[in-house]
Structure 1
Amino acid sequence: MPKEQYRETDVARKISHMSFGVESAESMQQQSHIHVVAKNLYNQDVQRTPIPYGVLDKRLGTNSKESPCQTCGNNINSCVGHFGYIDLELPVFHVGYFRSIISILQTICKNCACVLLSEEDKNLYRIRLSNDNLSYMTKKAIRKKIIDKCKKLNKCPYCKKSNGFVKKMTASKGSTGGSVLKIVWEKNRGKDKECVAKENMDKFSAAIEANPEIQNALSASTITQILTPIDVLKLFERIPQSDILLLAMDSRKSQPKDLIFTRMLVPPVSIRPSVVSDLKAGTNEDDLTMRQSEIIFINDVIKKHKLSGASVNMYQEGWDFLQLQTALYINSELSGVPLAMMPKKPGRGLIQRLKGKQGRFRGNLSGKRVDFSSRTVISPDPNLEIDQVGVPLHIAKILTFPERVIHANIDVMRQLVINGPDKWPGANYVQQKGSAFKKFLKYGNREKLAQELKLGDLVERHLHNNDVVLFNRQPSLHKLSIMAHRAKIHHHRTFRFNECVCNPYNADFDGDEMNLHLPQTEEAKAEALILMGNKNNLVTPRNGELLIAATQDFLTGGYLLTKKDTFLDLAHASQLAATLLAENDTQMQIDLPTPCILKVSTLKANLEAKGKAYTKNRELCVKDSYVLIRNSELLAGTLDKSHLGSGGKGSNIFYVILRDFGQDYAIKSMWRLAKLTSNYLMNTGFSIGIGDVTPSESLLRRKNKLLSDGYAKCDEYIRQMADGRLQCQPGCTPEETLEAVILKELSVIREHAGQACLAELHPTNSPLIMALSGSKGSFINISQMIACVGQQALNGKRVPDGFENRSLPHFQHHSKTPEAKGFVENSFYTGLTPTEFFFHTMGGREGLVDTAVKTAETGYMQRRLVKLGMLEI
């Protein structure tokens, strides 16, 4: 009777714990079904049937739909696969445990196999290591102390033999270069060097008499012995059971002798499938299959050498190859493999299947490809509510939700079944109660299926409006990178959402793509809506500030609409108010108040806050930058990013509404603002032209005056340094002091040019409006366009010398003037000179490289932190 790997029972069981140990040769044989001995893969017949007792034997499982497994009789979907085993002709080192083997050899006597500690020390460490609740790091630290103590002892306290030193053999010491995974024992190392040399001389006495030169060689060099896997295995088998605990090993789960390979498992066929080749006759075999086939072949070669009495060199060569192939089977990226022994083509070992981006953990467990997901380009839509996402009809007909037929929905479900897969809203499949199969609705009589629909049947219906979906943008760096939205089906080809939600996703619309997932149970939908719902995550968990709020156009529109000199007649006010009539607000009553201030809510919100450009006298501020809201009426002030945008708290309108009235009102007011302001901007018009960045005559005069004054000061500093009159700053050389004072002077030039520029601009200037409202850009951007680009910095300093004693060949040697060291006096309007343009590109390149490096570093750091968090859980 074949072994059963798992038998289902009706008894519910709870897993108490998991423990990991080293697989023993006996355990390998117990869990295996066959002993694999045949090196060939297939019989020489037309069907290419796998050879019995080979690595593709049909008793190891099946990877074909046609033939069932010969062990359990199940097909490809039900058979989990079965193990086999290969007996190695000679023991070899396990590449994964190689360091552990060396550390154990450094701990034990190479004669009697006892741990090199006194009984008193042994008892002390046994007590400490016998604690089951000891953490891994503590156990590791104790083990290191034991190794360090044992390394200091050259003579065994029990058999009094000298122990020397054990280490990995380096490639240079191997005579043939075949030194992969070899251990060398330096016998005459340490205090007992003379004793060991004398013993060695006694052994070689007969040889010395015949050839006296051997004596000099023996006394001069270090006496070494290569410890073969057989030597190590014999030593490990003799380690007393009481000493195993001192090796930080649990004798119930693993034994030191199990670290040496004498038998290896053959994994099931299902994890190393054979792929039938379309181009040529035959199959493409997995790397693991080929490696194990080679191991069996080398096994046979060693067996023949044993029987034929081959030379020691041939025997050793076969052993080396067996060692290499077993190591490459586990880790195919093994370093230090001699060229003569390198495999012809690189394969993937077991380690390569687990590690890295495409490995099991990162590629198949932490992140994987899933069903019921879709991906396409994203677009903005200010008409959508904050918690909605526009889903293309094409996607809505493919993504399905399995809805159970009940009394309340049977008529609706019948209509969906009749509509079928091609008409939305419809359904793709029906699974009748008690049936294991689904019926595809594209074919067959849908009317008949609809009539036969019973309570308890499952209908895989299309995605509907207001279905809960998960929306995600990569890289997902915080929990707000994936949130739940309500679906809104439309006839276009992109996902659409309100721009207020760009911030948490870090999304823009220059070609970004996003993922949408449809939860498949009512519980999942409820969890997604409550825990990940867009409206439940308006504030960031980092510091409680708003992350979803008005942005860009809405800020500009809100700023312009709330200016004191913005007047709307009844027609325009009514037109704007009409844009709010949508979705649940379609029947909303809007009363236009007597003053020209729109009352957008029946809630009475109050707010008093200073704006970015506030001067004095509260609501009588000359810049109109003191916002005063009483009972939801804006009495004074111009709204900007601090009142409408993300990141604010006390002075933010939406934060006040969220705090006082809840998330539903917050997102509704946000949505109304988005519709209102974007519509106002569409009708009013808002654009930038060359006229917005053209400097006036007075501005040019002020800029030239600033430049001439600044350059004169810089020239004076340069003369002072040349004459030795420049007073050095604390801890700085004269050159460093000169750089510091010139940099300070040049930054003052740009700052003052920017201030002059802002003073000259008219309040209707578009870039100025965007900077003041906080929707986009800054005052520095405006001053660079109109007045002066300023100093280009590389690594926080002025441009260094790229040629001999000068930055570019266009300047004189040792020139320290502003223009020779990267100061750009022109604006983008006037245009940069060739040298200025070159300096500007240098600064830009540094910014790009810096961004790329930071992205890679922060991504790697985040992955390590997530990994640590997963380990803690």
Structure 2
Amino acid sequence: LDKLAKELRTELKEVTGQRKVRAIRRLEVVEAFRQSGNNAAWMILDVVPVIPPELRPMVQLDGGRFATSDLNDLYRRVINRNNRLKRLLDLGAPDIIVRNEKRMLQEAVDALIDNGRRGRPVTGPGNRPLKSLSDMLKGKQGRFRQNLLGKRVDYSGRSVIVVGPSLKLHQCGLPKEMALELFKPFVMKKLVNAGHAHNIKSAKRMVERVRAEVWDVLEEVIKEHPVLLNRAPTLHRLGIQAFEPVLVEGRALKIHPLVCTAYNADFDGDQMAVHVPLSAEAQAEARLLMLSAHNILAPKDGRPVVTPTQDMVLGSFYLTMEKEGAQGEGKLFSSYHEALMAYDAGVLELQARIKVRVGGKMLDTTVGRMLFNEKLPPELRRNQLVDKKELGKIVAEAYRKFGTTKTAELLDSIKNLGFRFSTRAGITISISDIKVPEEKREILTETEKLVEQVETQYRRGLITADERYEKVISLWGKATDDVTKALLNTLDKFNPVYMMAISGARGNIQQIRQLAGMRG
């Protein structure tokens, strides 16, 4: 090595270009050997370890043929070539033949360790490259990622999700047949303990034949047993949450509408996985740390992630609106209950402005707002229009003041109220709701004239191309804003499309502008 290092140093002084680069590389390796005290001869394999047969199995197929692991083929090539080389050396074969055999042996060993690393990969039947030792370990299908970091587990299932509007925040609907399979051992033990079956074997038979008493036992088993629901991709910790299962008919999982945001789930065919926590510790953690009712705030910024959306927002918004000239406007009521009776009797509209005595003061409000406030604790009540933003504030405030349990109850009551009144409102969209503002034509004609003037100035050389570009952009930007303003003035406050956008339930003003005003 010392001699080689000396030679390489001499060579470095004399050569240039590509040869110099190669010499530097070789010198690096040589120096590494010298300084580490390793012997270069140790780098040559004289023994190839063979992995245990369980890791490279052979299985007999139906036709009496055998299917084998690729590694066996690669090992076989090494053995054959090695034996042939031995024979040739014993026979004293010509140098050229021995050299060729040595090269082939080296290639066989290379292919075993990492097929396709140098030269063409060794292929099996159907021109498929064989899987070497490296291929078994690396990549997504390798040992690490496939079998060590992620495993298939028992006590799990998956199904399509559908909405469960009648569920409580901490509940999920679990299909009966799935629940029976997931909780099978628990049900069997309970059947034996309750005396329905003499031993585990007969209990198993009862479960498999789905006898009537099995369902009652299943109900008892799942009562105190949370399950975990996961939706892939799990991008933050709220992608897996715990729920108390409720048995449902059908084969779909039912999900509470308020947890969809956390899972980023919708009901267009999404699937979710169910897991059963088995040990007492796992169940306790699921119930105390992972229950959906305990995960109201998002971990990223501490804002509530469980806030009413879509229909619920629309219902609450409709409920707390005021309507000019509604039936019963300006009437006085001595109490909330009297106003409610008038509403039930049909002499008072939901959005009519009325005066009601509350706590010795006269309050200007509407029946709708009183119905909404009835669901809130006294500290959170507000006499105003409630949109999505306001609902978010209510939830955040409730969480700060009352904690988890009370907030979960509040969310459920807002959900029920929102659904009820968005249904009662009968809000729906038709083509006639998309009203084109009358001023639109005029605004566009005016803008086109101004753009033409800019073009003329450019052609005369009064402005540069960049200035023309800037001016045209700003003119059309102003036209867009003017059309949007005209559109908002045209739309009625109770226009369904407008209500959806303004309340934050769905869509925005820009989208309405593209429908009724102008695109671009």
Q: Same fold (TM over 0.5)?
A: yes
Name the residue aligned to 2:12.
Answer: 190
2:297 corresponds to: 539
Instruction: Tell me which residue corresponds to 1:274.
Output: 58
Preserved contact between residue 473 and residue 482 of structure 1 (Cα < 8 Å): yes
Q: 1:309 aligns with which of 64, 76, 92?
A: 92
| Aligned residue number for residue 388 of structure 1 | 171
Conservation of the 8 A alpha-carbon contact between 2:180 and 2:218: no
Contact 2:197 2:203 (8 Å CA) reproduced: no
Task: Report the counterpart of residue 441 of structure 2 in structure 1.
Answer: 704
1:523-570, CA deviations, whole angstroms, 9 ceiling, x for partnerless residues? 101112222221222111111111111010000001011123488854
Letter in 1 for 2:455: I
Match of 2:487 among 720, 733, 757: 757
The equivalent position to 1:487 in structure 2, one of 245, 251, 262, is 245
- How many angstroms does 1:460 deviate by? 10
Q: What secondary structure sits across from 1:261 in the alignment?
A: coil
Are the structure 2 counterparts of residues 460 and 389 from structure 1 closer, same or farther at C-alpha, using a change threshold of 3 Å? closer
- 1:713-762 per-residue CA deviation (whole Å, 9 max, x = no partner) reads 22222222222211xxxxxxx43443333222222222221121111001
Cα distance in 2 for partners of 1:303, 1:440 equals 66
Equivalent position SS for 1:471: strand
Alpha-carbon offset, residue 415 of structure 1: 6.8
SS of corresponding position for 2:277:
coil
| One-letter code aligned to 2:400 | R
Q: Relative to structure 1, is the Cα distance of residues 110 and 724 closer, same or farther in structure 2, using a 3 angstrom cutoff?
A: farther
Amino acid at match of 2:135: Q
Alignment partner for residue 664 of structure 1, among 376, 382, 405?
405
Whether the 8 Å contact between 1:465 and 1:489 is mirrored in structure 2 is no
2:499 is matched with which residue? 769
Question: Quick one: which amino acid aligns to residue 605 of structure 1?
Answer: E
SS in 2 for 1:520: coil
Q: Can you list the C-alpha shifts for 1:248-293, whole angstroms capped at 9, x where unaligned?
A: xxxxxxx765543221111111111112212x32211101111101
Task: Give the aligned partner of residue 644 of structure 1.
Answer: 391
Question: Is residue 2:379 matched to residue 1:605?
Answer: yes
Against the structure 1 CA distance between its residues 709 and 193, is the aligned structure 2 distance closer, same or farther, given a 3 Å change threshold?
closer
Q: Which runs of 5+ in 2 are unaligned?
A: 24-28, 328-338, 346-364
Cα deviation for residue 110 of structure 1 reads 5.4
1:499 aligns with 2:499: no
User: Is 1:675 the equivalent of 2:412?
Assistant: no
Distance 1:670 1:552 in 2: 14
Q: What are the within-5 Å matches in structure 2 for residues 431-470 of structure 1? A: 441-442=204-205, 464-470=222-228
Alignment of 1:564-579 (within 5 A): 564-565=322-323, 570=341
Output one character per residue of 1:464-489: Cα deviation in whole Å (capped at 9) or x when no partner.
24521111111111111111111111
Q: Distance in 1 between matches of 2:258 and 2:160?
A: 18
Q: Distance in 1 between matches of 2:202 and 2:46?
A: 54
Counterpart of 2:180?
397
Aligned pairs for 1:65-144 (under 5 A) are: 109=2, 111=4
Amino acid at match of 1:305: L
* Residue from 162, 165, 180 that aligns with 1:379: 162
The residue type equivalent to 2:451 in the other structure is C
Contact map agreement 2:433 2:496 (CA 8 A) in 1: yes
2:138 is matched with 355
Cα deviation, residue 375, structure 1: 0.9
In structure 2, what is the Cα distance between the partners aligned to 1:530 and 1:789? 51
Question: What is the identity percentage for the equivalent residue pairs of Structure 1 and Structure 2?
Answer: 27
Shift of 1:162: 1.1
Are residues 1:688 and 2:412 paired?
no
Map residues 175-574 of structure 1 onto 2, 5 A cutoff.
189-191=11-13, 243-244=35-36, 257-278=41-62, 280-335=63-118, 337=119, 345-400=128-183, 403=186, 413-414=191-192, 418=196, 430=200, 441-442=204-205, 464-565=222-323, 570=341
Cα 1:222/1:603, change in 2 over 3 Å? closer
State whether residues 391 and 489 of structure 1, in contact with CA within 8 Å, keep that contact through their aligned partners in structure 2: yes
Asked whether the equivalents of residues 161 and 271 of structure 2 are also in contact (C-alpha less than 8 Å), the reply is yes
Q: CA deviation at 1:370?
A: 1.6
In 1: Cα distance, 2:195 partner to 2:456 partner? 90
3-state DSSP of counterpart to 1:369? coil
Contact 1:399/1:462 (CA < 8 Å) preserved in 2? no
Q: Report the counterpart of residue 719 of structure 1 in structure 2.
A: 456
The answer for the alignment partner of 2:350 in structure 1 is none
Distance in 1, matches of 2:123 and 2:289, equals: 55
Provide the rounded CA distance (Å) in 1 between the counterparts of 2:444 and 2:379: 50
Contact 1:374 1:395 in 2 (8 A): yes
Check conservation: 2:184, 2:207, Cα contact below 8 A: no
Could you report, residue by residue, the CA deviation over 1:650-688 in whole angstroms, capped at 9, with x for unpaired residues?
xx1111111101111111111111112212222331211
Q: CA, structure 1 residues 483+298, in 2 after alignment: closer, same or farther (shift >3 Å)?
A: same
Shift of the 737–465 alpha-carbon distance from structure 1 to 2, 3 Å rule, reads farther
Cα distance change of structure 1 residues 511 and 258 upon mapping to structure 2, 3 Å threshold: farther
- Superimposed CA distance per residue, residues 775-825 of structure 1 (whole angstroms, 9 cap, x where no aligned partner): 1000011111111112xxxxxxxxxxxxxxxxxxxxxxxxxxxxxxxxxxx
8 Å Cα contact 1:382-1:671 kept in structure 2 = no
C-alpha distance in structure 2 between counterparts of 1:744 and 1:357, whole Å: 51
Which residue matches 1:591? none
Displacement after TM superposition at 1:310 (Å)? 2.0
More deviation in 357-366 or 559-568?
559-568
Indicate if the aligned counterparts of 2:191 and 2:203 stay in contact, CA closer than 8 A: no
Gaps of 5+ in 1: 1-107, 112-155, 165-187, 195-220, 227-232, 248-254, 421-428, 431-437, 451-458, 575-593, 607-628, 646-651, 727-733, 791-873
State whether structure 2 residue 15 is matched by structure 1 residue 162.
no
SS of residue in 1 equivalent to 2:427: coil
1:56-102 Cα shifts (integer Å, max 9, x gaps)? xxxxxxxxxxxxxxxxxxxxxxxxxxxxxxxxxxxxxxxxxxxxxxx
Q: Secondary structure at the match of 1:642?
A: helix
For the 8 Å contact 1:401–1:461, the answer to whether it is kept is: no
Counterpart residue number, 1:168: none
**Kept after mapping to 2: 8 A contact 1:401/1:518:** no
Closer, same or farther: CA 735–557 of 1 in aligned 2, 3 Å = same
* CA-to-aligned-CA distance 1:320-341 (integer Å, 9 cap, x gap): 2222222222222324x159x7
Structure 1 Cα separation of the partners of residues 71 and 289 of structure 2:
44
Q: CA deviation at 1:510?
A: 1.0
Instruction: Give the secondary-structure state (helix, strand or coil) at the position aligned to 1:550.
Output: coil
With the length of structure 1 as denominator, give the TM-score of the two structures.
0.49
Distance 2:206 2:221 in 1: 21
Amino acid at match of 1:743: I
1:741 pairs with 471, 475, 478, which one?
A: 471
CA distance in 1, matches of 2:503, 2:33: 78
1:713 alignment partner, SS class: helix
The structure that is helix-richer by fraction is 2
Deviation at 1:193, TM superposition (A): 6.2
Q: 1:404 & 1:691 partners in 2: Cα distance?
A: 58
Contact 2:113-2:132 at 8 Å conserved across structures: yes
Q: Report the AA paired with residue 244 of structure 1.
A: S
- 1: CA distance, partners of 2:375 / 2:149: 46
